[in-house]
Amino acid sequence: MTRRAVLGAGLFIGSSLILKGCQNATDSVSSTQELIVTTYGGSWEEGHRRELASSFTKAHNANVRVISEPGLEAVAKVIAARTSPPYDVILIPEGPMFTAQAEGVLQEFPQDASQNYASILPQYRNQGLAPMVASQVLGIAYNPERIKNPPRSLLELWHSEYRDRVGIPSLESGLGTTFFVELARLEGGSENDAEGAFRKLTQLRPNLAAVAPNPGSLATLLQQGEIDIAPHWFDYVSGIRSKGASVEWVAPTEELASSSSSLQIVRNSGATELAAAYIDTALSLEVQSAMAQPPYNFVPTHQDAPIPEELAQKLGKSPSDRLDEVVFIPDWQAINPNRSAWIERFDREVKI
């Protein structure tokens, strides 16, 4: 037995617990007591290093190597090297999560052995897989020095006063797809009926100043004054504002479209119990409460963790309230089969 295997044994309370499907795992990633995990850049990376990895290391005396990797790229790498994956745990949003599950590169999460699974809100649980660890909500970011009367509805981005001032994300990003699906819903459609969204985006051309490939580049355009308004995540905007960016965020009067991410065990990681314990730490009240605070401001999935105070204020709620009634969770299992065709059509029809 390797040092990693020894370390992994008995990380949950009750050392006799056996994780499902672990018996044939090989130590393909590393032979040391090190867990290799991915996270996204920005606030995700900062929070996972400071709050999650440090808490896990303290509790389990294990090293954690945190790699910044977009979810889609992490999935592509574990699919390409499925028998010897580069990571033990990957952070992925809903769309890539269902893709990875279909490809058979994710390990079942031991829900019965988890100390925190039962405390995760039902809408964030995944059958067989680990629950979501945090959620982001979509609103409207704007430059307060140039926009004195910010819109309150995503549909107000079409108003003539915003001519040549609006930026939107590409559909290749999770932000772009979430915005697109929310637009379809506001136009009477759904994940399976996006004609209204395409029609509406075509009508946005007079106001459209930029189409950004990802949330980071969209924020950069906003900071540089090349656009003045854009649909964007609350946590992302509050994070860059805390570092000096002149940008504000307003909650739309519609439901808040959201995107959630989960940490998943990679099949054949060879450290599945250690990986499961790392994910269970991410689901804990301690870590989720910390990640809901500035500068991270993620919406927690733990039923007892507070929602970000600033977001609560914008919604007229208290941090102890839940957001069930105002959050729209897109159906990514319906989105995934349509997404490639949407991207091709978006690139063809949505031009500046």
Question: Where does residue 262 fall: left (phi above 0), alpha (psi -120 to 50 degrees), or beta otherwise?
Answer: beta
Tens of pLDDT, residue by residue over 152-196, are 999 999 999 999 999 999 999 999 999 999 999 999 999 999 999
Query: Of the candidates 342, 8, 329, which has an alpha carbon nearest to the alpha carbon of residue 171?
Result: 342
3-state secondary structure (DSSP) of residue 230:
strand
Which string of b and e fits 173-204 if b means at least 16 CB within 10 Å?
bbbbbbbbbbbbbbbebebeebebbbebbeee
User: How confident is the model at residue 293, as a pLDDT?
Assistant: 95
Q: Find residue 257's DSSP bridge partners.
A: 328
Tens of pLDDT, residue by residue over 271-312, are 999 999 999 999 999 999 999 999 999 999 999 999 999 999
User: How confident is the model at residue 19, as a pLDDT?
Assistant: 33
Q: What percent of the chain is predicted at pLDDT more than 90?
A: 82
By residue count, the chain amounts to 352
Average pLDDT taken over every residue of the chain: 89
Q: What is d(CA 300, CA 78) in angstroms, rounded to the nearest whole number?
A: 27
Question: CB atoms < 10 A from the CB of 280, how many?
Answer: 22
3-state secondary structure (DSSP) of residue 249:
strand
Residue 25 scores a pLDDT above 50: no
Residue 22 scores a pLDDT above 80: no
Q: What is d(CA 7, CA 10) in angstroms, rounded to the nearest whole number?
A: 8
